[in-house]
Chains A and B, each alone.
Chain A
Amino acid sequence: MNLLNAVLFLPLIGFILTLFIPKERTGAVRVLALVISLLTFIASLGLIAPFWFRSPGAYVFETNLSWIDNPAIRYHVALDGLSLWLIILTTLLTPVCVLISWRGIDRRVKEFFAFLLLLEFGLIGVFCSFDLFLFYVFWEISLVPMYFLIGIWGHERRIYAAVKFFLFTMTGSVLMLAAMIYLYTRAGTFDYTTIISMLQTGRLSFSGAEQLPLFLAFFLAFAIKVPIFPLHTWLPDAHGEAPTAGSIMLASVMLKMGCYGLLRFCVPLFPTAAHECASWISVLAIIGIIYGALVAMVQPNMKRLVAYSSVSHLGFVVLGIFSFTQVGVDGAVYQMLNHGISTGALFLLVGLLYERRHSLEISAYGGVSTPAPWLAAAFMITMLASIGLPSLNNFIGEYLVLQGAALVHFSWAVWAAIGVILSACYMLWFYQRMFFGKATDDLKHHMFDLKPREYFAIVPLIVLMVWMGTFTQSFMPPIDATNARLLQQSVNGVEVHVKKEVKKAVLVASKESGDAR
């Protein structure tokens, strides 16, 4: 029973304990959820320890037990630099969500916090599973509580959004399941590390005709979750209709499941197909960047605006991953975390505004900075981070991605950079309409500044934005080492010759990122 298992199962224990509290005792439910989620967070900080001193890159906190004998399914959880920060992101945001829902959720309180803890369990599980089957189990488990969170506590069109969310994800994941079973019939195991080493040593190889459908089956499931451009239509509905905590978890963590899956499974397992499709996918990512930004600009609804900005930001992540350069992939992973922090904070602040004014329409606001100056300041920093202002976190990620993309195809970087400019346009305009100008009496009547509980939720996120924007070194080494290994596996696996330039670019890039540090 190592620390990772403790971090994984604490939320589940919390979920079960919550079910036993009588539903009238809402105070006890809230306190229990907060205590459990904080304990999980504190425990998860301990996961950093092995990465602190010795050279990162290997798996740590490994547990590998047999779960089902035939077919051979193992409970194999472990941690590497990629999983580490995503798990900490999850455990950090869960207490934030508990705090932010403290008063906002006033009916069916017990069920809400129970589902929130179950969601945390599923998400942590997704990020630490090293058995394909186990990964799928957690992948689906995380779907159910989110469905209920949107469907029960969401806004007016919540049911439509919840069902759409569930069906989109489900359709993608059943195809992934088919591909996993096929993989099993070929490899005889679901174990990720075993399959990778079998691929490396040549004991297992897929023909081109096999790789492409398998790659696409995995890719589709992840692309829906990310979401990549034509598959994004569920996202504005789900984000727009979810309660604040639901939007935060959805944007900050659940979308990362897709990015994580692309990097962890699609790229190393099917390198040939991944390299073949890379340019198509990169183009879709760029379309997503620009399209998301343009649509965000014209949204009258705050949550939908932030949702479309996510489509744009996640385009960067996908672009970075499929550049297959060390800088690009490092930037993509960093951008995953950045987006988790800054968009999470944006949804949080939008949620606070909604709690006060009870409207999501931008036109219902204006001049908010007068009655609520600290709220406006927090929003300002978060917004600037989201735009990608230097010295705040998103800048680092976007810069690295752009550099990685430029190494492969310079014009891609140019197009993607247009997205950065557009993000400044829609965000600044959004901020102007919301916070500047003269506040109406109606607004003044409703609006008030941040309360202590809300400071506890937002301040850590702002601190992280600055920290991640200035001391990249505290976060980057484990990510870098893991990505180097993933890329190495991917390059080794490519049977047909990849263009020489790309290989050279990989070398150059890895040297540069080494220099950067």
Chain B
Amino acid sequence: MPANFIPPGVDYIRILPEIILTVIATLVMLLETITSEKNKNALGHLSVAGLIGALIAAVAADHVRGPAFSGLLIIDGFATFFRVLVIAVVILAILSSYQYLNRERANSGEYYALILFSVVGQCVMATSNELIMVFIGLEASSIATYVLAGYLRDDRRNNEASIKYFLLGSLATAFLLYGIAWIYGATGSTTIPGIRAALTNPAVAPNGILVGIAAALMFVGFAFKVSAAPFQIWAPDVYQGAPAPVTLFMSVGPKAAAFAIFLRVFMTAFGPVSNRWEPFVWASALLTMIIGNFGALSQPNIKRLLGYSAIAHAGYIMVAIAARSEIGIAAAMFYLAAYALMNIGAFAVVTHFARQGEKYVNVGDLAGLAWKQPLTAGLFSIFLVSLIGVPLTAGFFGKFYIFRAALDANLIWLTILGLLNSAVAAFYYLRILVVMYMREPSAATESIEPLSAGVKTTLWACALGTLVLGIFPSVLLDFVNRSSGLLR
């Protein structure tokens, strides 16, 4: 094939966010050697500036939609949505990290560089239109995250989290790669539209068993990354062990990107056989919700509790995937944005509250927070009621759209069981509200530090976002509805 080895200039504009982020990340690594111990925050500021640049570039790239680099990447509304989401997540993650890193005396350029490389990987995942690109993006994102999970290298919990995440994660990636090999064998293509074309073309008629095995192997890989049952075991351990700001980032960014490729691969490439994989996603969605919600019920450690809650929320998004429709995709996209806001907010409070060596990470330690720091508790309450799914918050509309999509697809039992699950979930989120508002202040709350500027910005941004999406969901919903149609 006489390939054109020199891609047109517009292709570079399409991947400008990745270019900016890579350059900044490399720059941060170089500057790390010449910045003094006191000025490490400057590297964070530089990273945030780069991320804002990348955000603008991602929005700009949306005006030149289309495939790039011989169809390996594609820029459409769906890709733009996820690129903006993961970049915004990292901005908020860095803003909430400063205080924590300084407290742990671990502020260094490598943290910022790793998190930037990770987001490059996630941007590639969001835009990839070909399975090898999916794999490269996933690996770039994951490897950086493995290291971040063990970032405080003298902390045993960090080491455990990192090694666990790395071992299980690489196994899951291997499954994914094996699945890619099978599907290439069955259809002769690794591009997503190519696979779809092969599956719909009666002349090609790939072997059903081969395709099934390929889809199953890839499902294992993706389900691991989004922490869907039965591949969710790692999540609570890793979320608990990793440094709090890393957990904040890890529970949202990589997950959103993994859902992006999950949706793209399963709805586009495996779209023609969706009636085959639907029962598996159905079962996985239900199991994920149940394991997440019931696992969280009695957790004393708030990071672990939010880890289980993150599993439960992945379950809700799986319900949207099981609906196999455009409004299902739109609902999943909306939910991921809502989930990002409320989860980052909740973890930012944990990061702020933890103190040196993460001394205070139990639910009970938050006792009486409302009377010592009403603002922190008030904003945390917004995130919690949003996670419960009370109206006028983003979490409610997210659930509403997901279950509407499910009912549209006639998934009546999944809807009923899912909604009952969300009533169970209310219990453990209420526990946090109870200790914050209804108990006398504990030693941990008495000695609380004032909110740092970075965490404060994150909290306000997330709270405003949660309320805006809860009261005027149309601002985002119109966009996701328009983008979800582009997937096929």
Contacting pair A185 B423 (CB below 8 A): no
The stretch of B102-110, B426-434, B446-454 that contacts the partner chain: B426-434
Q: How far is the CA of A171 from the CA of B396 in the complex (A)?
A: 15
Q: Which of B368-427 contact A (CB under 8 A)?
A: 371, 374, 385, 388, 390-392, 396, 400, 403-404, 407-408, 412, 415-416, 419-420, 422-423, 426-427
Contacting pair A152 B407 (CB below 8 A): no
From A68, A108, A166, A170, B474 is in contact (CB under 8 Å) with A68
Contacting pair A151 B423 (CB below 8 A): no
Interfacial chain A residues near B437, Cβ < 8 Å: 148, 151-152
From B403, B408, B426, A167 is in contact (CB under 8 Å) with B426
B481 within 8 A of A: yes
Q: How far is the CA of A356 from the CA of B416 in the complex (A)?
A: 49
For residue B388, which residue of chain A has the nearest CB?
A: A170
A515 within 8 A of B: no
A-B contact list, 27 entries, CB within 8 Å: A68-B472, A70-B481, A71-B404, A108-B371, A137-B391, A140-B390, A143-B390, A144-B390, A151-B434, A151-B438, A152-B437, A159-B434, A162-B434, A162-B438, A163-B431, A163-B434, A166-B426, A167-B423, A171-B423, A174-B419, A175-B420, A177-B400, A178-B416, A178-B419, A181-B415, A182-B412, A185-B408
Contacts across chains A and B counted by CB atoms under 8 Å = 80
Interfacial chain B residues near A181, Cβ < 8 Å: 400, 403-404, 407, 415
A313 within 8 A of B: no
Q: Which of B432-488 contact A (CB under 8 A)?
A: 433-434, 437-438, 472-474, 477-478, 481
For residue A107, which residue of chain B has the nearest CB?
A: B371
From B374, B407, B472, A178 is in contact (CB under 8 Å) with B407
From A140, A147, A178, B391 is in contact (CB under 8 Å) with A140
Q: How far is the CA of A186 from the CA of B431 in the complex (A)?
A: 38
Interfacial chain A residues near B371, Cβ < 8 Å: 108
Interfacial chain B residues near A185, Cβ < 8 Å: 404, 407-408
A442 within 8 A of B: no
Q: How far is the CA of A140 from the CA of B22 in the complex (A)?
A: 46
Q: How far is the CA of A148 from the CA of B420 in the complex (A)?
A: 23
Contacting pair B400 A174 (CB below 8 A): no
A141 within 8 A of B: yes
Q: How many residues of B contact A (CB 8 A)?
A: 34
Q: How far is the CA of A163 from the CA of B427 in the complex (A)?
A: 7
CB of A16 to closest CB in B, whole Å:
13
CB of B259 to closest CB in A, whole Å:
22
Q: How far is the CA of A163 from the CA of B396 in the complex (A)?
A: 20
A158 within 8 A of B: yes
Q: How far is the CA of A158 from the CA of B439 in the complex (A)?
A: 11
Q: How many residues of A contact B (CB 8 A)?
A: 32
Q: How far is the CA of A504 from the CA of B319 in the complex (A)?
A: 49
A475 within 8 A of B: no
Contacting pair A170 B426 (CB below 8 A): yes
For residue B438, which residue of chain A has the nearest CB?
A: A151
Interfacial chain B residues near A182, Cβ < 8 Å: 407, 412
CB of A9 to closest CB in B, whole Å:
14
Q: Which of A457-494 contact B (CB under 8 A)?
A: none
Q: Interface code A124-150, partner B: CB below 8 Å = 1, 0 otherwise? A: 000000000000110011011001100
Q: How far is the CA of A511 from the CA of B105 in the complex (A)?
A: 84
Contacting pair A174 B423 (CB below 8 A): yes
Interfacial chain B residues near A162, Cβ < 8 Å: 434, 438
A184 within 8 A of B: yes
Question: Given A68-B477, A178-B416, does the pair A144, B426 have CB atoms closer than 8 Å?
Answer: no
Contacting pair B391 A136 (CB below 8 A): yes
Interfacial chain B residues near A177, Cβ < 8 Å: 400, 403, 419
For residue B474, which residue of chain A has the nearest CB?
A: A68
Interfacial chain A residues near B477, Cβ < 8 Å: 68, 70
Contacting pair A178 B385 (CB below 8 A): no
Q: Interface code B122-155, partner A: CB below 8 Å = 1, 0 otherwise? A: 0000000000000000000000000000000000
Contacting pair B438 A144 (CB below 8 A): no
Contacting pair B404 A184 (CB below 8 A): yes
A441 within 8 A of B: no
Question: Which of A68, A144, A181 has its CB near the most chain B CB atoms (within 10 A)?
Answer: A181
